[in-house]
Structures are given as structure tokens and as C-alpha cells.
Structure 1
Amino acid sequence: MAVFLLFFALVTVMGFLASRWRRADDAAHLHEWGLGGRNFGTWVTWFLLGGDLYTAYTFVAVPAAVYAVGAAGFFAVPYTIIAYPLVFLFLPRLWSVSRVHGYVTPADFVRGRYGSRGLSVAVALTGILATMPYIALQLVGIQAVLDTLGVGGSGNWFVRDLPLFVAFGVLAAYTYSAGLRAPALIAFVKDALVYVVIVVAVVYIPLRLGGYGSVFAAAARKFAAPGPHGGPGGSLLLGAPGQWTYATLAFGSALALFMYPHTVTGVLASGSRGTVRRNMAILPAYSLVLGLLALLGFLAIAAGVGAGVPGFNSQLAVPQLFAQMFPSWFTGVAFAAIGIGALVPAAIMSIAAANLFTRNVYREFLRPDATPAEETKVAKLASLLVKVGALAFVLVMDKQAAINFQLLGGLWILQTAVALVAGLFTRWFHRWALLAGWAVGMAYGTWTAWGIASPATRHFGGNSAEVPGLGETGYIGLTAFVLNLAVAAVLTPVLRALRAPEGADETVRADYSAEAGDEAVERAPQPAAAH
């Protein structure tokens, strides 16, 4: 507990001091509070994106999935490997055009590219919707650590959740004060802790358990035994029936990863196009860590975590593994890695959602003449409201429901990919066709996910269903994305034949290859002056 509190105090102080780090001449601009001044270099961006993408939920949920089902839980490893070559193709273009025109959010780009307020607000609201349960699950990660530490968990609801309230309050305070600079600075501590804990865990714990041969043998025995609901409890190797699901889930998740507003925020905070490209080349180092992280699920099985406990929550497998196998002082270090691993992405996510609301809802529809200072003030308040909503989500809803709702996050955010990614390369799609495709993808995906039951819940009980026309079970988000793309492709020539208004494109080809120092970048408008 002492070690955990020490690290928590350290990052709290760093969070508040971050407002003085790279201090802006005029902080009353959204690109200063919400994008850290757009001048982060390669290493700051690397730590920021790493802290943004690899969250407490990743630390807890990936090994939890491996603990529960075995091989199928490793889908997160190939999807992060696939993602970086894909986004290497389009993220530098997004950085360039956003820098030239002062765009702060992906919805800003959609507004400028297609001249469509409707499509822009659809992208913005989808981003906020997909981010909310993701923030909630960072708080779930903190709560899992606090419960394992024995803090809270008993008494009335206020006493039980008081430590979570305190963590939430600290997070809200330094995010409000320092904006994106706070998680960018704290990410150095978070990522260092994660690397240390993972390396120690995958070396030290197997030595105590008799080596990896014993670990895999224990996992094989567990998965060979009948599961709690009949049938095998999992598998060390993925069988043929699950391969299509595995492949579509990995590919769909890879497409969705950099559609999330918080990942785009980290990219747009970079100081140059080259910084973005270098980060896409070196960020796969985190995929190695993720592969090692997934092995913790097998280590928890071999250590007997949860054995014989009816209805054991696999999300607690890693915290309990650490508490059981490490000396108490290093358990504090490991729990700090999970806790801080929740604070960093939660801060970035709330900032990204606040940017979307401020730029693409408040300024677009409520106060078109808002000053830069007013935009920044509204964004700060919106970030607090987003965190309050996420906290309410955690306190009111069943944790299993929260986890299942998070599965919808990837499904929803993937429906913005057609408008965003296609727009970076071509203006062929009609704006109304893109809006119709988005609506079809959202409706199909949400309705299909609603109809999936599991032993824990009647609705939103999974992320895969039969693909229409194929007879195979696949990731719902990818099926919805294909429908989205098909509708947009079919309706575009129809709308052109009907001479439907196209909307004005405020970008030109040279904008997509602009680099820091170019004349177009140097004379870029302030965000408050851009659409």
C-alpha cells in the first residue's frame, strides 16, 4: 500500500506540474490545452501514444481473456501488429491537412473535406459514444486494484467507493489544469513501470512455478476440463470453428484502433509529419510487451488463481496473481503500473471527447462565434462531465455490462473509418452516401450486438455473430463496416446522377503532404478560425 500510494502521489504532483511544462505563451487556445501545443517530439509522442493505446484495461482484460478461453484471447497481439502498417499510410496525411487548416478533431477534418455539418456531428457523437465506456473501464481497472489491496469494498456505497472517488477527483483536477500535457508527462512513469513489471513477471513468476513447461501443462489441463457451462473450458490452440472469428476480430480491431478520438489526439499533438511516421515504425515495440502480457493469463492458471472459486471474475486474475506471487513491495509497484495505466488513457480520452464536443457540437451549433478562450473553458468543463458520466457508468451498472458495452466501442468507432480514411485519399464519395452508410453500419452493428446473450447478460453478450451470406461467425464491427462501405459506394453514383449537392471541399492536394516548416503550415489558422 505504501509503495502504491507513493507512486500515485508522484504522478499527482507531476500532473499538476505539467501545466508549467512547455508552457504556452497563451494557454487560452484549444490547441494548447487539448493538443499540448502541437509540438511534441518523437519520444514524447511515443510515450503518449503508448500510454494512450495500452491501458489498464489492456493490462487486465487481455490476460483475463487468455485465462478464461486460452488461444482466442491472443487476438489482441496480431491486431496491434497489423494496425501500424495500415495507419502508417494515412496518419501522416491526417497530420498534414490538420496542421494546415488548424483541425483539432477528426470531425473537423470531415467537416472541411465534405462540407457537411451532419456528417461531422455524426463522427463527433460516435467518437464520444465509443469513448465513454472506455473511460469507465479505466476506472474499473483502478477499482480492481483497490479491491485487491483491500481498500473499500465494504460498508455503504459511499465508503465502499470513496477511494475511487479520490482517484477520480485527482484525475479530473490535473486534467482540467494542465490538459494534454499532464498525461503526456505522466506517460513516462506509466510506461516505465509497465515494462519493468512485465519483464519481471514473465521471468520471476515462471521460475517460481517450475518453468514454462509446467505453466503450459497446467493451462492445458484447465482447458481440457469441462467449462462452467458445459463443453471445453478453452484451448491452447485455436480450433477451426473459431479461426474466422479470430481473424475478423483481429482485422476489425486493427482498423478501429486509430479511429478512436484519443489516438487521433495523440497523433495531432505531434510536432511534425516525420514524428508521426517514426512513431508508427517504433510503436510495435509495445506489441512485444502485449504478447508477454497475454502470457500472464497462463501464469495465473498455473498459480491456481481463482481455482475452485465458483463464478470467479477473470478480470481479477492479474491483480490476484501479482498479490499472490510477488513480495509485497513489488506488488505495490505492479499495482501502481495498473493504476497509473488507467489514469493516463482516461485523461487523454476525456480530453479527446471534450475536444469533439467543443469543436463539433458547441461551436458548430450553439456558439459559432465562440472565442478561443471560451472554447478552452467549455472543453475543460466538458472533460469533467465526461469523467462524471464514466464514473456513474462504473458505479451504477454491473461490471460485466460495462465490459460488454466496451466491446461496442470498437464496433461504433469503426463506422467512422469510411468517411475519415477515404477522405484522406479521395473525394469520390458523396457526403450523403457516407452519412447513409454510417447510419446503416451503426444500426446493424448495434442491433446485432443487442441480440447476443451470454451466461452473464441477456444483451450485448459478445462481439461476434453469423456473417450474412457466408455462414461463418465473424466480428460484428467488421461486418457492419463492410455494409457501411457498400452503402456509401452504391449511393454515391446514384446521388451524383440526381445532382445532389456535393458540399464544398476546403482542402487541396498539397495540404496532405505538408510538413512542419512549410509555408502552408506556418500560416495555418488558429483552431478557433477554422471550420
Structure 2
Amino acid sequence: MSEVNWIALSVFALLFGLVTWLGFAAARWRKGDLDLLHEWGLGGRRFGAVITWFLIGGDIYTAYTFIAVPSLAFGAGAIAFFAVPFTIVAYPIFFLVFPRLWHVCHKHNYITAGDFVRGRFGNRWLALAVAITSIVATMPYMALQLDGLQIIISALGVSGTGLLADLPLIIAFMVLAAFTYSSGIRAPASIAIVKDILIYITAFAAVIIIPIELGGFGKIFAAVPSSKLLLAAPGPGSTGAYSAYATLALGSALSIYLYPHSLTGILSASSGRAIRRNAALLPAYSFLLGLLALLGFFAIAARVNTLHEYADGFKRFGNNFAVPALFLNSFPSWFVGVAFSAIGMGALVPAAIMSIAAANLYTRNIHREFINKSVSDRQEAQMAKRVSLIVKFGALAFIMAVPTQYAVYLQLLGGIWIIQIFPSVVLGAYTSWFNGWALLVGWAAGTIAGTAMAVAVNLTPTYPLKIAGYVFPGYAALYTVVLNVALVVVLTPLFNLLSIRRTAFDEIASSDFHI
């Protein structure tokens, strides 16, 4: 059985205590009436450029990112670096689209993407599809944050059998549930500042100290198998890893800000100008992501052991244990505690925002639209708070009862599903020409086709698309959103001709997009 690293655990517990206090104290930060949904769920839309930068970075660069990107480099090599160009492509999209979206949502008091789609296209069934897609895509994402936290707790030597093994995770998420319920999005916004500072400290320390210990970058890259240093060259009749790399980067860039936790962070900003400033500042996270990916190569050179021992024997985390094992091998115990705290906060911050975003979607676009239209503002906020608890403990139950691999599969499917709202949300920020029913058909076709593609390749992200005898392995999400948009463009004039129009007029004027 592995021994508890008491020094690292003490530092971890101290910093966890600090962020717990911050989470509860945040209720009094920029005070507002937390019995109103826009105050609880969006912080009153009062976060400036700096806080928004930490908040958006905090909910996108998660514990799963910190562990999964290096582990992909550790196991698969160069393909992991698709994460760097994907963020570079994402920020211009962010700059162009989301200030426009913010202005409309601010003017009409929209809180979710479903609210915007309902107002833009006048179709509540399309808004329902957007809401359900967003919630379903978010749940496995949240479960994987718990998995990242579980790996970190295990790496500290805290283990056991049965309920005892999951007790630290249960305690952490009970604390998370409590401060999210009481403080709303102000809690993860305040914690994100501490989390990102610690992550930058950890990343810079790792890329400076570990190469020195391993004899320099030359020896590190010499230790990495040549097959992992470069993408595999295309073979006869196939673009191979080249198209997979490119489509993963582009498809991820198109979808990353459609996730409800991303949109919630964006809509919490105080102005469109704050969002544009963030588009200019967020590329700092792309640099950070490149550094994190390098940790996978460091782990190869350090020959880390990805087996971790529990009280009941060995449990194989596989490649996901590469980063914790690397830090345990490379740093003194006190700094391991700091690094693991950063990763643990990288689970708490996005999980809190994800639960808030899912609660907002359910409350506004399902409960208020289809169950109780006469709900008061205070009842709406209370409903969202309760739903956020259900969402969090649902994710906790899932990760405790179901093998992690299933959460990974569902998260991959979530990427395919969430991109299907791209025409309604992103293109909808520029035009209301699309017919709402055509958008709904496109969404359904893209979702079904994407799911079928993923199942056909055993729930892996790339699908070998065959065109004229040539094979283009690529991200199924990108292929299916092209199908989605094509159907919408073809069906819109047809549905309009057949008088299958929207159920209400567009309530958004062109002047509402003024930025």
C-alpha cells in the first residue's frame, strides 16, 4: 500500500481550506441579490476584463486538461499538440462572435444560449434542443473533473476500500456544492484567480526544473520515440494523421465556447469591450497549454510508473497518472502539494460553473418554458440552486459507480453533440435568415450522424471519411456540423416556401448587436 505523503497532503489541505473560505466569502463580493438568477448565475453581469479572464480561463483549462493533454502526449505523442492551434483558432472566433452575443443577451436579459435561440428564431423546440444538448454534453465533462480530482487525491497516498476510498472526493464535492449554492458564480470566479496563479507557477517551475534534472531538452527529446515526435506521414490513399490533427484543431475551436460553462463565463462579463479584451489576453493560456503538453514528453524521459497502489492492491490509472507521477518524482513534497492543489482547483472551478450553467439551462429553457411559465424571479433562482445540487451529485454518483472510461466516451460524444448548436448560436449571431425548423432538422441530423460515426469507430474522436476512394480520417464533430449547416441552408427556403415558418417573430433587432 502506498504511504500518505503527509507534507504534500498538509499543503493541499491548507490551500483547499483557503479556497473553501473564498468560496463562501464570495457571497459578499460585489454584493447583489442572490435570490435573482442573473445575480446568482451570472454575477449580475459585473465582472470586468481581469476577472473575466480568470473566470473563462478557469472554466476552460480544467483539471482534465491539466492531466489529459500531457497524458495524450505521453501515450500518443505529437497528436496531443493539436490543442495549441485549436486555441489559437478559437480566439478570433471568440473576438468576432461573442461580444455581439453578449450585447443581445444583456439587452434582453438572456441568461443561456437557449434564451438567445428562442428570441432569435422564435422556436421553443429549437431552444429546448439547445438546452438538452448543452446539459447532456456538460455532465460527462463535469464527471471527468471529479476523475481528475480523484487521481490527485490518490497520488497523495489517500486510499482505502469501498466508501472509504471515495470519502475524500465526497467531502470535496459537498464543500463545492455548499459554496456554489450560497455564492453562485462569484465563488468559482474568486477561486479561479488563485487556481490560475498556482497553475502558472507550477507550469513554469516544471518546464525549468524538470529539464535540468533530466539533463536538458536534448536528452528529453532523444528519449522520446521518433514515432511520437512527429505525426505519422500519410499513406497511399489517405491523409492519415494530418487530416485528423487539422480537423481536431478546427472542430474543437468551433465548439469550445458553445459549452454552457464557457457561455456562462462570457455572459458574466460587464461589457462587450471586456470580452474583446479577453480575446486579446486569453492566448496566454495557449502558451500555458503548450507547456503542459510538454509534460507528457518529460514523463516519457523520466520513465514514470503509471501504476498506483491502493490498500486493496494496484489500480491502473494508465497514462492519466503520468503528470502526478512526474511531479512526485521531480519535486519536493511541499511543492507537490502546491501543484496538486492547482490541479484540484482546476476541478472545482469548472465543475462549479458547469453545474451553474446546467441549472440555468434547465430553469430557463425547460422548467419555465414547459412546466411552470408563471414562476417568479425568486422561485426561478431557487429552482436553479436546487438543480445545481442535483447536477453535482449526479456527476459524483456517476464517477463513483461507472468506470471512468465511460465518462471519457461520453465526453467525446459531448464534443460531437455540442457543435451541432453552432448554426443556431454562432451563425445566429449574424443572421436570422435560417428557419427555426430547418435548424432543428440540421441539429437532429448532425447529432444522429455524429453519434453513429463515433459508435462505428468504437467511440474514438476520428472517423475515416471516404470520398471518391480516398480516406480522410478526421474529427467526426467537424464532418457532421458541415452536414448540419448544409441541411439548414437547403431546407430554409424550402420550409419558408411551404409556410413552415417560425412560431413567433424574431424579437431581436439588428441594432441590438451594436458593439
How does the TM-score come out when normalised to structure 1? Answer: 0.91
Alpha-carbon RMSD across the aligned residues, in angstroms, is: 1.4
Distance in 2 (alpha carbons) for counterparts of 1:422 and 1:343: 32
Shift of 1:307: 7.5
| Residue identity opposite 1:51 in structure 2 | G
Distance in 1 (alpha carbons) for counterparts of 2:268 and 2:109: 12
Distance in 1 (alpha carbons) for counterparts of 2:270 and 2:317: 46
Shift of 1:452: 2.1
User: What is the match of residue 21 of structure 1?
Assistant: 29
* CA pair 324-357 structure 1, distance change in 2 beyond 3 A: same
Cα deviation 1:171-206 (Å, max 9, x = unaligned): 000000000000000011000000000000000011
The count of aligned residue pairs is 493
Distance in 2 (alpha carbons) for counterparts of 1:195 and 1:27: 32
Choose from 122, 126, 129 the match for 1:119.
Answer: 126
Choose from 452, 464, 467 the match for 1:466.
Answer: 464
User: What is the match of residue 428 of structure 1?
Assistant: 433
> Helix, strand or coil for the counterpart of 1:426?
coil
User: What is the match of residue 283 of structure 2?
Assistant: 284
User: What is the match of residue 457 of structure 1?
Assistant: none
Choose from 74, 85, 91 the match for 1:84.
Answer: 91
Distance in 2 (alpha carbons) for counterparts of 1:308 and 1:52: 29
User: What is the match of residue 239 of structure 1?
Assistant: 233
Asked whether the equivalents of residues 297 and 317 of structure 1 are also in contact (C-alpha less than 8 Å), the reply is yes
Percent identity, aligned pairs only?
53
Choose from 347, 353, 356 the match for 2:352.
Answer: 347
> Helix, strand or coil for the counterpart of 1:471?
strand
* CA pair 99-394 structure 1, distance change in 2 beyond 3 A: same
Shift of 1:501: 2.2
How does the TM-score come out when normalised to structure 2? Answer: 0.94
| Residue identity opposite 1:390 in structure 2 | A
Shift of 1:237: 4.1
Distance in 2 (alpha carbons) for counterparts of 1:87 and 1:22: 26
Shift of 1:475: 0.4
Distance in 1 (alpha carbons) for counterparts of 2:181 and 2:233: 48
Shift of 1:60: 0.2
> Helix, strand or coil for the counterpart of 1:104?
coil
Where do 1:110-189 residues align within 5 Å?
A: 110-152=117-159, 154-155=160-161, 157-189=162-194
User: What is the match of residue 7 of structure 1?
Assistant: 15
User: What is the match of residue 415 of structure 1?
Assistant: 420
* CA pair 247-410 structure 1, distance change in 2 beyond 3 A: same
Where do 1:323-342 residues align within 5 Å?
A: 323-342=328-347
Choose from 97, 108, 111 the match for 1:101.
Answer: 108
Distance in 2 (alpha carbons) for counterparts of 1:238 and 1:92: 39
Distance in 2 (alpha carbons) for counterparts of 1:179 and 1:446: 34
Gaps of 5+ in 2: 1-8, 235-239, 309-313
> Helix, strand or coil for the counterpart of 2:474?
strand
Where do 1:181-330 residues align within 5 Å?
A: 181-220=186-225, 234-240=228-234, 241-306=240-305, 313-330=318-335
Distance in 1 (alpha carbons) for counterparts of 2:75 and 2:171: 32
Asked whether the equivalents of residues 355 and 391 of structure 2 are also in contact (C-alpha less than 8 Å), the reply is yes
User: What is the match of residue 500 of structure 1?
Assistant: 500
User: What is the match of residue 514 of structure 2?
Assistant: 513
> Helix, strand or coil for the counterpart of 1:473?
strand
Gaps of 5+ in 1: 225-233, 454-459, 515-531
Cα deviation 1:85-126 (Å, max 9, x = unaligned): 112111011000001100000110000011101000000000
Distance in 2 (alpha carbons) for counterparts of 1:150 and 1:498: 66
* CA pair 369-468 structure 1, distance change in 2 beyond 3 A: farther
Shift of 1:450: 1.8
Distance in 1 (alpha carbons) for counterparts of 2:23 and 2:400: 25
Cα deviation 1:458-505 (Å, max 9, x = unaligned): xx2x11112253521110001110111111111111111112123310
1:378 aligns with 2:383: yes
Distance in 1 (alpha carbons) for counterparts of 2:75 and 2:106: 45
Shift of 1:27: 2.4
User: What is the match of residue 489 of structure 1?
Assistant: 489
Cα deviation 1:265-312 (Å, max 9, x = unaligned): 111100011001100111011100000010000000111113799976
User: What is the match of residue 517 of structure 1?
Assistant: none
Asked whether the equivalents of residues 231 and 242 of structure 2 are also in contact (C-alpha less than 8 Å), the reply is no
Distance in 2 (alpha carbons) for counterparts of 1:85 and 1:308: 41
| Residue identity opposite 1:451 in structure 2 | A
Cα deviation 1:321-359 (Å, max 9, x = unaligned): 111110000000000010011100100011001000000
Distance in 2 (alpha carbons) for counterparts of 1:308 and 1:40: 43
Distance in 2 (alpha carbons) for counterparts of 1:280 and 1:186: 21
User: What is the match of residue 228 of structure 1?
Assistant: none
Choose from 392, 396, 416 the match for 2:401.
Answer: 396
Cα deviation 1:484-527 (Å, max 9, x = unaligned): 1111111111111112123310010110115xxxxxxxxxxxxx
Distance in 1 (alpha carbons) for counterparts of 2:378 and 2:133: 26
Distance in 2 (alpha carbons) for counterparts of 1:203 and 1:394: 35
Distance in 2 (alpha carbons) for counterparts of 1:384 and 1:405: 21
Asked whether the equivalents of residues 60 and 141 of structure 1 are also in contact (C-alpha less than 8 Å), the reply is yes
Deviant stretches of 4+, over 6 Å = 307-312
User: What is the match of residue 71 of structure 2?
Assistant: 64
